[in-house]
């Protein structure tokens, strides 16, 4: 059968590629995509070939996406852990149909139609079954799990104690999820900074105690005594120039979490005054730093984290609908990426594979 997948062919250029997908063999299933979510951070940077991206030096082809909700369309011989019609989440790129191993570690064949080989986000081979009976809206919310995966990793690594003030810099989907997880972990107050008014509004709807346009507004608010600040600062913008501000705003002996993947170098840090003298702990948080096999306190595997996140989204403990700002049929994927590249109003943008 024929399938389609989103492809970057160069900076700012995207199209839909047609590929052939065969029937599943032993230990394989055929997954049909329903909804996949575009990241306005990592995917946008790769779309524009910004610094510290795979597409910077070699522009294409590149297969974006890593947050896909689908259903099992067929199962191969011997598959006993999944069934036809079951909703599942995967880290597959944006593609309509894919052959996928039913259980990691089993016999696998190398097919271009299974998972795009070569230049992609190297998706995990894990399938996460979802609860039965989820409606279309909740499935769309589940397609944003990639943002929660990053946000929860950052909040978990911060080891927030009950009553510690938490400041989140940047209110994209990851920063907005940090707001919710910081509250769940006992952060008080939870404070957010972002120049875009619509993002600040969503942050407050999701539980931020305060939301400011910039650091000057925070300082004028009087939330902290002169020379004081929040015990935890989570940098979620990915902007190199914001990192010195994160150091300066953090309280003495506080923790700064570098959660956003910066695109470029930070060139103006005075480590003596901003870090050393204040006794700050600076923690880099990246997907590649997760443990591979066993979760431990403060540091969970991606499989354990995603399984928890999907439960929280499915039962409404974590809210995602407020930051799903746009939906596009897959045929208009180019328009979707153009919007993400230009508009700060675009947060989670869902591609609808059912709108044919």
Per-residue pLDDT tens digits for 173-191: 999 999 999 999 999 999 9
Supply 354's token pair.
């059912």
Q: Where are the beta strands (DSSP E) in the chain?
A: 2-10, 13-20, 28-38, 68-75, 87-90, 97-101, 128-129, 166-169, 190-193, 210-212, 232-235, 255-258, 281-284, 324-329, 348-352
CB proximity list for 80: less than 8 A, separation 6 or greater? none
Q: The domain at 148-289 falls in which architecture?
A: 3-Layer(aba) Sandwich (3.40)
pLDDT of residue 77: 94
The CATH number of 2-144+320-352, from 3.40.50.300, 3.40.50.1980, 3.40.50.2000, 3.90.180.10, is: 3.90.180.10
Question: Model-level pTM?
Answer: 0.89
Report DSSP letters for 143-175, one per residue: TTHHHHHHHHHHHHHHTPPTT--EEEE--SHHH
Supply 143's token pair.
């397609």
pLDDT at residue 293 tops 50: yes
pLDDT at residue 115 tops 70: no
**Nearest-angstrom CA–CA distance, 34 and 47:** 22
- In this prediction, residue 356 has a pLDDT band, given cuts at 50, 70 and 90, of low
Quick one: average pLDDT of 26-37? 96
pLDDT of residue 53: 87
Alpha-carbon 271 to chain mean position: 30
**Nearest-angstrom CA–CA distance, 342 and 321:** 22
Domain ranges of the chain: 2-144+320-352, 148-289
pLDDT at residue 311 tops 60: yes
Quick one: average pLDDT of 119-129? 76
pLDDT at residue 51 tops 80: yes
pLDDT at residue 118 tops 80: no
pLDDT at residue 114 tops 50: no
- In this prediction, residue 196 has a pLDDT band, given cuts at 50, 70 and 90, of very high
Supply 158's token pair.
């911060």
- In this prediction, residue 268 has a pLDDT band, given cuts at 50, 70 and 90, of confident
């Amino acid at each position: 059968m024929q399938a389609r997948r989103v492809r970057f062919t160069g900076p700012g250029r995207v199209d839909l590629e047609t590929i052939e997908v065969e029937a599943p063999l032993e230990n394989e299933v055929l997954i049909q995509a329903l909804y996949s979510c575009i990241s306005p951070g990592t995917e946008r940077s790769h779309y524009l070939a910004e610094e510290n991206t795979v597409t910077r030096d070699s522009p294409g082809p590149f297969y974006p996406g890593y947050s896909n909700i689908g259903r099992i369309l067929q199962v191969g011989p011997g598959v006993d852990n999944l069934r036809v019609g079951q909703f599942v989440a995967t880290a597959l790129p944006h593609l309509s149909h894919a052959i996928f191993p039913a259980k990691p570690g089993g016999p696998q064949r190398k097919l271009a139609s299974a998972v795009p080989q070569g230049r992609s986000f190297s998706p995990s081979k894990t399938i996460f079954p979802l609860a039965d009976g989820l409606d279309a809206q909740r499935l769309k919310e589940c397609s944003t799990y990639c943002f929660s995966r990053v946000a929860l990793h950052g909040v978990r690594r911060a080891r927030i104690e009950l009553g510690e003030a938490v400041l989140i810099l940047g209110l994209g989907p990851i920063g907005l999820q940090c707001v919710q997880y910081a509250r769940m972990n006992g952060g008080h107050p939870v404070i957010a900074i972002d120049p875009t008014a619509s993002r600040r509004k969503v942050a407050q709807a999701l539980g931020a105690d305060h939301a400011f346009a910039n650091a000057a507004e925070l300082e004028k608010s009087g939330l902290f005594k002169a020379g004081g600040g929040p015990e935890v600062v989570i940098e979620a913008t990915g902007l190199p120039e914001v990192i010195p501000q994160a150091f300066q705003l953090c309280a003495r002996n506080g923790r700064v979490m570098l959660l956003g993947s910066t695109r470029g170098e930070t060139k103006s840090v005075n480590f003596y005054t901003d870090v050393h003298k204040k006794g700050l702990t600076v923690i880099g948080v990246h997907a590649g730093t997760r443990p591979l096999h066993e979760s431990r306190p403060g540091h969970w595997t991606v499989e354990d984290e995603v399984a928890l996140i999907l439960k929280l989204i499915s039962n409404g403990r974590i809210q995602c609908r407020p930051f799903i700002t746009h939906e596009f049929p897959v045929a208009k994927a180019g328009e979707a990426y153009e919007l993400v590249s230009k508009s700060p109003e675009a947060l989670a943008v869902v591609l609808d594979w059912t709108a044919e």
